[in-house]
Amino acid sequence: METAVTVRSIPASVVWQRCWRASAIATALCLVLGALFLRTTGVPATYPPLLPQQLIAGAVGGALLCTFGFFLLRLVVQNPTTFTRIYVVLGILLLIASFHLPYRLSYTTSPRFAGVTVAAQFAQAFLHCVVVGVSLWFLKAPHQINPKTGLERYRDKFKHAPVGKWSEIYEYGPWEHHVLEIFPDGKGRLLSNQDVFAEFEWKESAEFEILVRITRSIYDRDEELEDGEEEWRPFRYDFKIRNYYGKYQVMFELTPCLAFGDEIGDLEYKGMAQTENL
């Protein structure tokens, strides 16, 4: 189905692009809101936390902090779903901790913050929400690999052998009815409804082609076939890009399953599949 992505596979350049976009949008929002709050919260016109230079520093600094956290967290968490959940939770905790900054102005004696009001403190807390919210929104988004780049990655990695787990896919999505597993030790198996339909050996032949020899099938589960009883047959495959409900995906495409003989010819194995190994 779709090119599998880990958090670590997202290029650093993409992360930094998201950081600068978050910084720009958060800065623009904070400048507009800061000017509004400076007029409506009853603080002096020189109140530092709502001045443009402070707002710009806070917006850019908040986005950078979220970006550094992104890089650190992806060193230990690779699954995109798990990463997003942990990242959002940590971002919310950071946001809550940041509320101490406007709160402490309630008891500060610094003349710089003279004239602080409760409304201004709530306004500052709201600006913190804007910065953290925008940063999390941009940085937590899953990375979509360029279809052509994904196709090249698949062809480069699997050009000698399609080692991995491949699941049949129909018009409405992946379906675990037929699963093809090809192991790096020269063995593999075909599962049908989670039952082993056939076991086989394989060896490299050419680019995007391996040779397959059946060693056990559904018709002789209890004893292996004698060596040489089944001939080596070509198993050809390739990858293509498919527009799947408006979303481009890299698909695994097989030639007709003649490699497994006539005994599974009636399964109409589609050959388009997803990998769990890239």
pLDDT, residue 74, reads 85
Q: How confident is the model at residue 258 (pLDDT cuts 50, 70, 90)?
A: very low
- What pTM was estimated for this model as a whole? 0.53
The one-letter amino acid at 181? E
Judgement on whether residues 131 and 153 belong to the same structural domain of the protein: no
| Sign of the CA dihedral running 212, 213, 219, 224 | negative
Q: Reduced to 3 states, what is the DSSP secondary structure of residue 175?
A: strand
Q: Binning pLDDT at 50, 70 and 90, where does residue 61 land?
A: very high
Q: Using the 3D structure, point to which of 71, 106, 139 is the last residue of a domain.
A: 139
Rounded Cα distance between 40 and 47, Å, is 12
Q: Do residues 266 and 201 both lie within one domain?
A: yes
In this structure, are 102 and 165 located in the same domain? no
Query: What is the dihedral sign for C-alpha 249, 250, 252, 256?
Result: positive
User: Does 206 have pLDDT greater than 70?
Assistant: yes
How far apart CA 201 and CA 126 sit, in angstroms, is: 63
269 and 154 within one domain: yes
Cβ(84)–Cβ(140) below 8 Å:
yes
Per the model's pLDDT, the better-predicted residue between 192 and 111 turns out to be 111
Q: What angle do CA 168, 172, 176 make, to 5 degrees?
A: 30
Closest CA to 237 of 189, 182, 195, 173: 182
Q: Is the pLDDT of residue 182 over 70?
A: yes
71 vs 174: which has the higher pLDDT: 71
What is the Rg, in whole angstroms, of the alpha carbon atoms belonging to the chain?
28
- Asked if residue 1 is part of any domain, the answer here is no
Contacts of 104 (CB under 8 A, 6+ apart): none
In this structure, are 84 and 127 located in the same domain?
yes
Domain that residue 194 falls in: 148-275
Task: Name residue, tokens 């020269």.
Answer: 186
Residue type, 76: V
Write the CA distances from 220 to 10, 131, 232, integer angstroms.
Answer: 46, 64, 18
- For the chain, percent of residues with pLDDT exceeding 70: 71
Q: Which of 121, 139, 157 is the last residue of a domain?
A: 139
Domain finish residue from 139, 173, 191:
139
Please determine, for residue 146, whether its predicted confidence score (pLDDT) is greater than 50.
Answer: yes
Residue 197 has pLDDT above 50, yes or no: yes
Question: Do 119 and 75 belong to one domain?
Answer: yes
Helix ranges (H only) for the chain are: 12-40, 52-73, 80-98, 100-103, 118-139, 147-157
223 in a domain, yes or no?
A: yes
Mean pLDDT of 67-77: 89
94 and 165: one domain?
no
Closest CA to 131 of 44, 40, 9, 49: 49
pLDDT-derived band at 50 (thresholds 50, 70, 90) equals very high
pLDDT higher than 70, residue 220: no
**How far apart are alpha carbons 30 and 100 in whole angstroms?**
19
Q: Is the pLDDT assigned to residue 53 strictly greater than 70?
A: yes
- Is 155 in the same domain as 89? no
Classify 208 as helix, strand or coil: coil
Over 90: is that where the pLDDT of 40 sits?
yes
Residue 216: strand pairing partners: 199
Q: Give the mean model confidence (pLDDT) for residues 105-113.
A: 85
Give the span between the Cα atoms of 141 and 48, in whole angstroms.
Answer: 34
How close are the terminal C-alpha atoms of the chain, in Å? 12
Domain match, 92 and 129 both:
yes
- In this prediction, residue 69 carries a pLDDT of 92
Q: What are phi and psi of 234, to 5 degrees?
A: -75, 140
- Chain centre to alpha carbon of residue 82: 10
Residue 133 has φ and ψ, to the nearest 5°, of -60, -45
